[in-house]
Amino acid sequence: MVLGVTQACSQNGAEPKATGTVAAAPAELRDGEQKFNANCSTCHGIGGIGTTQGPPMVHKVYEPNHHGDAAFQRAASSGVRAHHWKFGDMPKIDAVTPEDVDQIVKYVRWLQKQAGIF
Ligand code: HEC
C-alpha cells in the first residue's frame, strides 16, 4: 500500500528548513529569535547553524570573548569584510536597529550556551 503523505505544514515565507533540531527559545528571547530569523538566518542559518551563504554563529569563533556584543552591532551597522571564512563579505543590515541587535545577541548567546560553546 502506498501512503500519500501530504504535509500540511504552514508556508511561512521562503525560509529554508533548518536541519537538526533547534530547541524552542525561552519566551523572553522570542523577539530576538524572530529578528534573527528575519534578518540574519538567510546566511547564518535558522538556529545559527550556518548556511552556504554564511558561517554558523553557534561556533567557538563567535563566543563572547572572541566576538563581544559590540562586534554584532558593528557587523549589523557597517557590515563585515570577509576574514574568518570564505563566504565573502557580510553586507550591513539596514533593517535592524541597535535595540534589535541587542535582542538578537541575547538570542545568539543563548544558542551558543545551549550548544555548550561557553
Ligand atoms: C547576506 C548574508 C549575511 C546576512 C544576512 C548576515 N550576515 Fe553576518 N556574516 C556574514 C558573513 C559571510 C560573515 C563572515 C565574514 C568573515 O569573517 O569571513 C558574517 C559575519 C558576522 C559576524 C562576525 C563579525 C566579525 O567581527 O567577525 C557577526 C557578529 C554577524 N555576522 C552577525 C550578523 C547578524 C546579527 C545578522 C542579522 C542582523 C547578520 N550577521 C546577517 C553574512 C551575513
Q: Hey, CA dihedral for 45, 54, 112, 27, is it positive or negative?
A: negative
Which residue's CA is the closest to the ligand 1 atom numbered 41?
A: 40
If one counts every other C-beta atom within 10 angstroms of the C-beta of residue 57, the result is 29
pLDDT of residue 12: 45
CA distance 66 to 68: 6
Per-residue pLDDT of the chain (118 residues; tens, 9 = 90+): 555 554 444 444 444 444 556 678 999 999 999 999 999 999 999 999 999 999 999 999 999 999 999 999 999 999 999 999 999 999 999 999 999 999 999 999 999 999 999 9
pLDDT of residue 23: 72
In the reported structure, the alpha carbon of residue 90 is separated from the centroid of ligand 1 by a whole-number distance in angstroms of 5
Q: Is the CB of 111 under 6 A from ligand 1?
A: no
pLDDT of residue 13: 45
Looking from the CA of residue 53, the nearest atom of ligand 1 is: 2
CA distance 72 to 87: 17
